[in-house]
Amino acid sequence: MDRREFEQTLVLIKPDALRNSLTGYILSQLSEYHSGLRFAATKVIDVSEMLAAQHYAEHQGKPFYASLISYIRGLEHYPTDAWKRRVIAIVFQGPDAVRRIRSIVGPTNPHAAREARPGSIRALGTVVPVKDENGKVVGERMDNLIHASATDDEAEREIKLWFRPNDIPPLMRAYATEMSSEHYYVRDGRLGTSFAPGSICVLAPGDVGWQSDLNTLRLLSRGIPAPVSLEAVIAKYMINDQRELTPDRRPGKQKWIWKALGMVDSSIRWIRSLRK
């Protein structure tokens, strides 16, 4: 098969699009009929702070960074309805995937999109001024409905950030995978290779991971600097995990249940690891 058939790009349908019931319209615009591309993977995600921070890592330190994190996590458009905060993440695949999707999506700035590409998806978005605690405008946030990878390299980084290999059918995976031969646990932001109470098993022997992720985990577990952070590797394994829920996002007054479930889950993972 032509290698171009495996070119991929990441699309995120953002909370403002969901809030304004534009999901169906966006999916129709990105359909195979219009884009010539296929779905390789999709899922609905409650975006954690870790995942948001890794996705927008290049903007850390900028005046609009905090607003950007709040935006992609759904806090801006669902300030009180925590259960509605989500994005739809999609991997599209096919020849020239990045350019084709970007063409349909339009310029990043919705105002520019309305001028240059009035029929594009982002032309339906808006620009929101970002203010500091004194009410002074310090920047702008693009509520542009949708994210699309800008380059092939960016697409690879983003797909590996938002998706595990097992989220994508084996014959549609574009990037190298590897079977783990070790246990990798995370506790309080630290990586370990043996279980401790309260730790989370990210990968176990026999699990399939991105080869680049396993290379990073091997380096970090030996105390050797790696090309990417630990958070960039583990964020995908915590997607929609109850242990990522902060108290304000937990339903009702049953917070103790979430803690108990986390303890039970850790125990189950430990027992399974002993059986392997």
Q: What is the pLDDT of residue 249?
A: 52
Q: Nearest-CA neighbor of 13 among 55, 34, 36, 44? A: 44
Q: How far apart are CA 171 and CA 156, in angstroms?
A: 17
Number of H helices, E strands in the chain: 11, 11
Q: Which residue has the higher pLDDT, 105 or 262?
A: 105
pLDDT computed for residue 138 by the predictor: 85
What pLDDT is attached to residue 261? 43
104 in Cβ contact with 34 (< 8 Å): yes
DSSP state of 120: S
Confidence of residue 245 (pLDDT cuts 50, 70, 90): low
Position with higher pLDDT, 73 vs 269: 73
Give 34's contacts (C-beta < 8 A, 6+ positions apart).
Answer: 28, 104
pLDDT of 133 higher than 90 = no
**pLDDT tops 60 at residue 252:** no
Instruction: Give residue 255's pLDDT.
Output: 43
Q: For 94-123, what is each residue's pLDDT tens digit?
A: 999 999 999 999 999 999 999 999 999 999
* φ, ψ of residue 239 in degrees (nearest 5): -60, 130
Question: In terms of C-beta density within 10 A (0-12 exposed, 13-18 middle, 19 or more buried), how is residue 40 classed?
Answer: buried
| CB within 8 Å of 251: residues ≥ 6 apart | 82, 83
- Mean pLDDT rounded to a whole number for the chain: 90
Choose the most confident range, by mean pLDDT, from 187-191, 251-255, 265-269.
Answer: 187-191
- pLDDT for 274: 61
CATH 3.30.70.141 maps onto the chain at 3-172
The answer on pLDDT for 264 being more than 50 is no
Residue 150 in tokens:
């800008």
Confidence of residue 254 (pLDDT cuts 50, 70, 90): very low
Is 111 considered catalytic here?
no
CATH class held by domain 3-172: alpha beta
Catalytic residue of the set 55, 77, 111, 147:
147
Task: Compute φ and ψ for 87, nearest 5 degrees.
Answer: -125, 160
Distance, CA of 228 to CA of 212 (rounded, Å): 9
Percent of the chain at pLDDT > 90 equals 78
**pLDDT confidence of residue 131:** 86
- What's the pLDDT tens digit per position in 172-223? 999 999 999 999 999 999 999 999 999 999 999 999 999 999 999 999 999 9
pLDDT digits (tens, 9 = 90+) for 7-31: 999 999 999 999 999 999 999 999 9
Q: Which residue bears the tokens 């049953």?
A: 254
Q: How confident is the model at residue 152 (pLDDT cuts 50, 70, 90)?
A: very high
Q: Do residues 8 and 91 touch, judged by C-beta distance below 8 A?
A: yes
- R_g over Cα of the chain: 20
pLDDT digits (tens, 9 = 90+) for 55-64: 999 999 988 8
- Say if CB 209 and CB 183 are below 8 A apart: no
Q: Which of 7, 168, 163, 172 is nearest to 100 (CA)?
A: 7
